[in-house]
Amino acid sequence: MKKTLILFTLLLFALAGISNAQVRKEKKYPGLATNIAIVGGSTAAGALIGGRKGAMIGAGAGLLYASSRKGTKRRAYGSNYRRIAKIAGGTLVGAGVGGYLGGKKGMIIGSLIGAGATYLYTKNGYRYYRARNGKIYAVPNW
């Protein structure tokens, strides 16, 4: 009797496992939560270390890093989005450094220099796109 009860219970668990198999849904924006956590964490660390201007530097550095990650390149983000994010990160870093060095006027000049430098840096990069068959192609931006 005990053997039959144990066998029946095991069979019941096996059938429940088969019928209730997990189905993995494809995320609409994979890696987005990770990028948000990277930018938020670096902003908080910069704020703790250097106040308001440190938070700007931390946010810019986090945005530059998050938009340059391998996961961001190969997943849901187009190269134009990544380029805009990199320019925004460079602008924030430049504004923070300029604010440390020269107040409001230095912040404006630093943000212009940071935006210009990252624009020129990303101008000669590669544009990534995904074909219908799933392959990722890199095309030079010249």
Query: First and final CA of the chain: distance in angstroms?
Result: 78
How much is the pLDDT for 116? Answer: 92
77 against 85, higher pLDDT: 85
**Pure H helices in 20-78:** 32-68, 70-74
Q: Which amino acid, one-letter code, is at 75?
A: R
pLDDT digits 0-9 by tens, 24-82: 677 666 677 788 888 889 999 999 998 888 999 999 999 888 888 776 666 556 677 78
- pLDDT by residue (tens digit) across 2-11? 677 676 676 6
Q: What was the pLDDT predicted at 113?
A: 93
DSSP, collapsed to helix, strand or coil, labels residue 29 as coil
Residue type, 61: A
> Would you list the domain boundaries of the chain?
33-140
Q: Are 91 and 108 in contact (CB under 8 A)?
A: no
Most confident by average pLDDT, 21-35, 56-70, 96-110, 117-131: 96-110
Tokens 């810019």 identify what position? 60
Q: Are 45 and 62 in contact (CB under 8 A)?
A: no
Distance CA 133, CA 142 (A): 25
- Residue 48, φ and ψ in degrees, nearest 5: -70, -35
Helix (H) / strand (E) element for 126: namely strand 126-130
Residue 100: CB atoms within 10 Å: 17
